[in-house]
Structures are given as C-alpha cells and as structure tokens.
Chain A
Amino acid sequence: MRDFHRSAPAAVQMTVRDALNQAMDEELERDERVFLLGEEVAQYDGAYKVSRGLWKKYGDKRIIDTPISEINVLLQAGLRPICEFMTFNFSMQAIDQIINSAAKTYYMSAGLQSVPIVFRGPNGASAGVAAQHSQCFAAWYGHCPGLKVVSPWNSEDAKGLLKSAIRDENPVVVLENELLYGVPFEMSEEAQSKDFTIPIGKAKIERQGNSITLVAHSRYVGHCLDAAAVLAKEGIECEVINLRTIRPMDVESIETSVMKTNHLVTVEGGWPQFGIGAEICARIMEGPAFNYLDSPVTRVTGVDIPMPYAKILEDHSLPQVKDIIFSVKKTLNI
C-alpha cells in the first residue's frame, strides 16, 4: 500500500496586532465572564486597531467604549475584565487603583478576594510622540508584589502571553509595543491552536550561543538578534534570551546561560536607574552565576533623559543595534 506524503506542519505569518486580536477573540468566546473595556476599543475598532472586529462580533455588553476616565478600573466581582490603556503613559492616571486595589487586595484579604484582571496596552517609545507618551513602565510595575507583568516580543509571545494573562486569577500587566503591532512573525501550527498559551514566568532562548548572553524584553529582543547576526560574522556567538515575563522574572534561565557563556549584557528601552537591567545585575550577584562571570554585567538602556521630539535626538535616546554590538565587544574586552 502506498504511503501518503505527509506535509510539514504549516506555519503562517501573523502580525503582533492580529495575534493579540486572536487571543482576545478566543478568550472572549471561551469564557463569558471575559470582557474588554477601554477608550475607542469598540466602535473605533481600537486606537491601534488591536480590537478590530471584536465589537461587531460580541456587541456592547462584551466590548465597552469608556469615557476618558482611566481610574475607573472595574473590579466587577466574578467577572474577568481586560482593561485597555491607550498607552501605558495614561495608566498613571489609574496607577493607584492598579497597585493599591488590584495588586494588593488578595494579600490584604488573606485570600478572600481575588482580582482576575488584565491591564494591556502599548508601552515604551513609539516614533516622535515626545516626552509624555514614550515612557517604559516595565520597572515601575515590575517593582510591585501582587502583580504579574509580561512583555511579549513576537506574535507567538503576544498571543500566548495574553491568553495566559486572561486565564490567570491574578492582576496581569501586559506591556505591548506599538512599533511591533504591524510586524509579521511566523506562527507555528501549535501557536495557531485555540488553546495555545505561554506560561507566565518562563523566558525563552531565541538563539543559542557560547560567547556571551544577551537578555532583553519586547522590541529589543529583535535588536539583540540583529546584533547577534552581525557579531556571528566575527566569530562571536551570542545567546539571546527573550525574558517574556518581567515579574516573576525567570532568573534561572539567565543564570544557566551565564554559567555557560561567562558574560552578560542586558538590553532595555527604559531608563537605567532602578531598571530591568539593574534588577538582573543584582540577582546575578546574589546567585550561583556570579562566580562564573569573567567581567561585570553590562546594561544597555535608554538614555537617562525625558524623550525628545526631534528625530535625530530621539534616535540617540534609545539603544541601537550598534550600541549593543559595541557593548558586547567591550564586555568581551575585544
């Protein structure tokens, strides 16, 4: 009998925006208690079109346009809201509620009152949106016990992490990136399934290497991979770790990698003081990987200034691929 030729699983290209959309669509369908609220999420299809088509499909009850009142975060008992912030800069209007009401309540009530809520929206710099619209909040939210904080890079990350966030019983902050919304990435067949989730708290090795470890989250994972491609031509093989989750941070993955490569560079878009890189440095020092370091950890970060508007200044305010390459070589003493 003849064997039928089996084709390899089909991967498709999907933008981050569509991945987020698909995640919400699937979770809205799966659980009636899930609903989305935010400014312009319904009839406008979303300020950045992430919720396109959802209002048409699910209607007023499940997809709610709110007035401009960020602080009215609804902790409706028994429901599972997804609260969209048009950008995380506006979340500062509601940050008291996110920290003092959402993050701390399960603890304060000794387990009586859980808060299964998701806060999502674009975080960090965009292009030319100036000082008040460009801040990265990874460090601010990552600082607080009671919150989980995720920061997806590609489409699989976006879909898997958002679905996990929605299914999680705890308040989860999902830090998306506006510049990545329109970027297509490959979605494996597994990722296309309706039950595809990525565990919160686990980093991913995007590229294996022996010379040095690069750790990043969100957009800068891409920058690290670009830098790694350039460095590979000179015989430097970078191991690139995509953090995926800011809190709880997967320090173990970083330690395992550092114990192999002996060098570490962290890359982030946020400001240096009290940032993600600073936390990683501290944790490495406190753990077994410290003794394996051949040089101090290098942090590549945004410049310690409010974001300027002019393009030339903005370009020089954030880590570029060449900054990562430079830092790798300095760290390796090349």
Chain B
Amino acid sequence: MKTMLAIISNALCRMTGRNAGARVVVSRSFADFTPQATFDIKKCDLHRLEEGPPVKAELTREQGLQYYRTMQTVRRMELKADQLYKQKIIRGFCHLYDGQEACAAGIEAAINPSDHLITAYRAHGYTYTRGVSVKEILAELTGRRGGVAKGKGGSMHMYAPHFYGGNGIVGAQVPLGAGIALACQYQGKNQVCVTLYGDGAANQGQLFESYNMAALWKLPCIFICENNKYGMGTSVERAAASTDYYKRGDFIPGLRVDGMDVLCVREATQFAADHCRAGKGPIIMELQTYRYHGHSMSDPGVSYRTREEIQEVRSKSDPISMLKERMLSHNMASVEEFKEIDIEIRKQVEEATQFATSDPEPPLEELCNHIFSKNPPLEVRGTSPWSKLKSVS
C-alpha cells in the first residue's frame, strides 16, 4: 500500500511539478484513520453533587493530536529548563511541571481564551496553555529582554492576557482568583475564573476565607487543587487532617478527578464551568496528579519518596503515553505521525533555546521602569544619594 502511494505521489509530482503528492498521502491516510471515538473515563468522586461529569468522553482526531502536541510541548519545554538550570543558565527558583501536563491541557481544552486563570509558582505549563510561546517562556527563565516579563519576573512571575501568573507566596493566589471571579460576575460577560493551588496550599487559612466569600456571593470561581501528593518534602498525610481536598470547601460542591487523564480533566472542567456559568456559585475540583521532578530544581525529590514510586507513575500513568496509546489503539493516528510531531516540537524547543541563550540581558535603563502604571516619569534613588535613576511607566 505504501509503495503504491509513493509511486502515485511521485508521478503526481512529476506531472504537476509541485509537491501535490504530499497531499495525496495525507488525504489518503486521513480516510484511513478513525475521525472520532468515545472513551471510558474514570468516574469522579462527588461532594454535594447529585450527578457529575459524564463517564464517557468523545475525542476527535484533531483534538487528540492537539492535546498531544500541547502536553508534549510542555514536557519538552520543562525538560529543557531542567537542562538549562543544571548548566546554570537558569538561576534562582525553578519549579517544573513534568508529569502534570494533563491538568493544564485538559483545563484549557474546556475553557475559553476569554476565561481567566491564576496559579502558583509551578506555572510554566499554564503560561504556555494560556498563549505565551515557548520562546518567551524560556527567555524569561534565562532572564533576557525577550522574556515574557522582559527578564524582570523570572520563573514564578510570568503573565499573559487573562492569565495572572505565576505567584510566589503559597496560597496567596487563591484570594486573588476569587477576586477575579468577582470581577467576572460584576462585568456580566459569562466568564469564569480558574483558581489553582496545590495540596500544600490547601491548608492555608486564606483559602477558606476565599471559599466563604465565593460561596456567599455565588462567584463563578472554579477552585482547582492540583494534588501531587507532596507539599515540597511533606506528604499529604503529614500535612492535612483531611486529604479529601475536594471536600475541604465544605458547603462548596466538589469533584475528585483523575488528573493524569486529559479527557477526565477536560470533562470535569467542562462540568465545573457549566456549573459556574449557570450561576450556581463556586465549585472545587481536586486533580490527582504527580510531579516527576522534586519540588524545585534544588530538591532531588527522592528523600521523601522512592524512585520506585516515581518510576511506577511514569510507566503506568504518564499522561502523554496514555493519550497516545488510546489514539493508536483506536486507529486515530499513526506512530509515524506522533514521531513527526515529536520532531517538530523538539525543533521548536531547540529554536526557542537558541533564542533564550543568545538574546541579550535587559538593558540597565529598564531597571527602575514599571513601578507605577500611568504615572509621569519619576526619580528613583539608587544605591547612594548621588545615584538618581529614572522610572517610566
């Protein structure tokens, strides 16, 4: 079959003098693949809900390839960041997201670009799904002028339209997220705010204040706990009196979701967004997920968990492998196709790395800018009284 296609495409190329043959191959294999399939997904545990998200998810070929591409891009980007950190080209704090890709990809698949999202410091994946290029993310990590925050923010402080970072203080982003949800309600454009936090932050008091106000005022806030089982070096059992994070909102309905399955995450987020948009108030999702790296690049990640545990998750529950196997088993794509996508992504990440390592650092003139918004230029004191620096908005 393949040889025949090659002969036809070569013949077409000679006749038309163009690469029409390529189109022949693609359209031929397109008809070969299953365009859409339905998959069984894990039922969510429910709290204060009569019914939950569906237990079957539909996936088109396009969607599948897109989710694969998103997750693989995040994966390769994070691994590149690991490499650059070890080469000391990235410095300071660096909290990597590999293992948790299904969360970011699944959430983005279920919300609109006009919805809002805020998370904590393990933010590179969300920065990407919310629209920032790999190039701008890596350049921010390397502290260059082409970074999304001009090199001034670093790993934990990246922003984009409708994406509010990137926040360094554990739990502090949750009241901010509730506030964004208030703004959504106030402006009446049917938008929701996705407010993410981890299992470590789940014990912060400020979350409970946010839960109270969001429920009281029926704010369109989707609180999402990414439970990766460890708050830095402390396992959930050692930190929380109740590890049922989806129930911790008490009077707020909750879902516990398989965070390693991008389809599960998508369906649950869709359900949650519908709930909020219908004016029913906030909802909590707990995504059960896992990080392969330690808490940050200065944590080897094996003093408080075993290598066997990490290996087991990698081999049995890797989100990217799971999606790929599903699509292959249902003949929705070919092994070659995935390989090609992988090659493209590798190239994309390499190009981004090239930029991120060659772009110059920010100019010193930038040092004092962006203190105030919409302000006339002001003078800023430098390290001594004779050092008078300039700040513009």
Given contacts A128-B91, A132-B169, A313-B362, A67 and B239 within 8 Å (CB-CB):
yes
Given contacts A93-B169, A133-B93, A303-B381, A311 and B361 within 8 Å (CB-CB):
yes
CB distance from B320 to the nearest CB of A (A): 30
- Pair A320/B383 contact, Cβ less than 8 Å: yes
A301 within 8 A of B: yes
Given contacts A129-B93, A130-B92, A130-B153, A310 and B384 within 8 Å (CB-CB):
no
Q: Which residues of A contact B172 (CB under 8 A)?
A: 93
Chain A facing B: main interface SS:
loop
Q: Which residues of A contact B364 (CB under 8 A)?
A: 312-313, 316
Given contacts A67-B200, A130-B153, A298-B385, A90 and B169 within 8 Å (CB-CB):
yes
- Complex CA–CA separation, A317 to B371 (angstroms): 14
B25 within 8 A of A: no
A273-311 contacts to B, CB under 8 A, are: 298-306, 308-311
- Pair A310/B380 contact, Cβ less than 8 Å: no
A71 within 8 A of B: yes
- Complex CA–CA separation, A313 to B382 (angstroms): 12
A63 within 8 A of B: no
Given contacts A298-B385, A309-B153, A312-B362, A47 and B232 within 8 Å (CB-CB):
yes
Given contacts A67-B240, A310-B152, A40 and B233 within 8 Å (CB-CB):
yes
- Pair A43/B383 contact, Cβ less than 8 Å: no
CB distance from A192 to the nearest CB of B (A): 30
- Complex CA–CA separation, A330 to B384 (angstroms): 10
- Pair A313/B238 contact, Cβ less than 8 Å: no
- Pair A312/B361 contact, Cβ less than 8 Å: yes
Q: Nearest CB to that of A299 among chain B residues?
A: B385
- Pair B381/A330 contact, Cβ less than 8 Å: no
A22-78 contacts to B, CB under 8 A, are: 39-40, 43-44, 47, 65, 67-69, 71
CB distance from B225 to the nearest CB of A (A): 13
A184 within 8 A of B: no
- Pair A326/B232 contact, Cβ less than 8 Å: no
Stretch at the interface among B201-209, B269-277, B350-358: B201-209
A89 within 8 A of B: yes
CB distance from A74 to the nearest CB of B (A): 15
Q: Which residues of A contact B204 (CB under 8 A)?
A: 68-69, 93
Which of A132, A303, A327, A330 is most buried by chain B, counting CB atoms within 10 A of its CB? A132
B154 within 8 A of A: yes
- Pair A300/B383 contact, Cβ less than 8 Å: yes
- Pair A318/B383 contact, Cβ less than 8 Å: yes
A209 within 8 A of B: no
A127 within 8 A of B: yes
B231 within 8 A of A: yes
B251 within 8 A of A: no
Which of A92, A298, A303, A309 contacts B368 (CB under 8 A)?
A303
A323 within 8 A of B: yes
A144 within 8 A of B: no
Given contacts A65-B234, A65-B238, A303-B368, A298 and B384 within 8 Å (CB-CB):
yes
- Complex CA–CA separation, A130 to B232 (angstroms): 19
- Complex CA–CA separation, A44 to B78 (angstroms): 25
B27 within 8 A of A: no
CB distance from B277 to the nearest CB of A (A): 32
- Pair A309/B92 contact, Cβ less than 8 Å: yes
B156 within 8 A of A: yes
- Pair B168/A132 contact, Cβ less than 8 Å: yes
Q: Nearest CB to that of A317 among chain B residues?
A: B367
- Pair B157/A68 contact, Cβ less than 8 Å: no
Q: Which residues of B contact A90 (CB under 8 A)?
A: 169-170
Q: Which residues of B contact A201 (CB under 8 A)?
A: none
B57-113 contacts to A, CB under 8 A, are: 91-93
- 0 or 1 for each of B223-248: is its CB under 8 Å from A? (1 = yes): 00000000111100011100000000
Q: Which residues of A contact B206 (CB under 8 A)?
A: 93
Q: Which residues of B contact A316 (CB under 8 A)?
A: 364, 367
B282-324 contacts to A, CB under 8 A, are: 303-304
CB distance from B231 to the nearest CB of A (A): 6
- Complex CA–CA separation, A36 to B93 (angstroms): 26
Q: Which residues of B contact A320 (CB under 8 A)?
A: 383
- Complex CA–CA separation, A320 to B383 (angstroms): 9
A222 within 8 A of B: no
CB distance from A170 to the nearest CB of B (A): 27
Q: Nearest CB to that of B232 among chain A residues?
A: A40
Q: Which residues of A contact B303 (CB under 8 A)?
A: 43-44
- Complex CA–CA separation, A236 to B65 (angstroms): 70
Q: Which residues of A contact B382 (CB under 8 A)?
A: 303
- Pair B383/A303 contact, Cβ less than 8 Å: yes
8 residue pairs of the A-B complex, CB under 8 angstroms, read A39-B234, A44-B233, A44-B234, A44-B304, A90-B170, A298-B384, A303-B367, A316-B367
Interface, chain B (partner A; CB < 8 A): 91-93, 140, 143-144, 147, 149, 151-157, 167-172, 200-201, 203-206, 231-234, 238-240, 303-304, 361-362, 364, 366-368, 371, 380-387, 389, 391
Q: Assuming A132-B156, A309-B153, what are 18 further A-B pairs, CB within 8 angstroms?
A: A39-B234, A43-B233, A67-B231, A68-B239, A89-B168, A93-B172, A126-B92, A127-B92, A130-B153, A131-B153, A132-B157, A303-B367, A304-B368, A305-B380, A305-B391, A308-B151, A311-B91, A327-B384
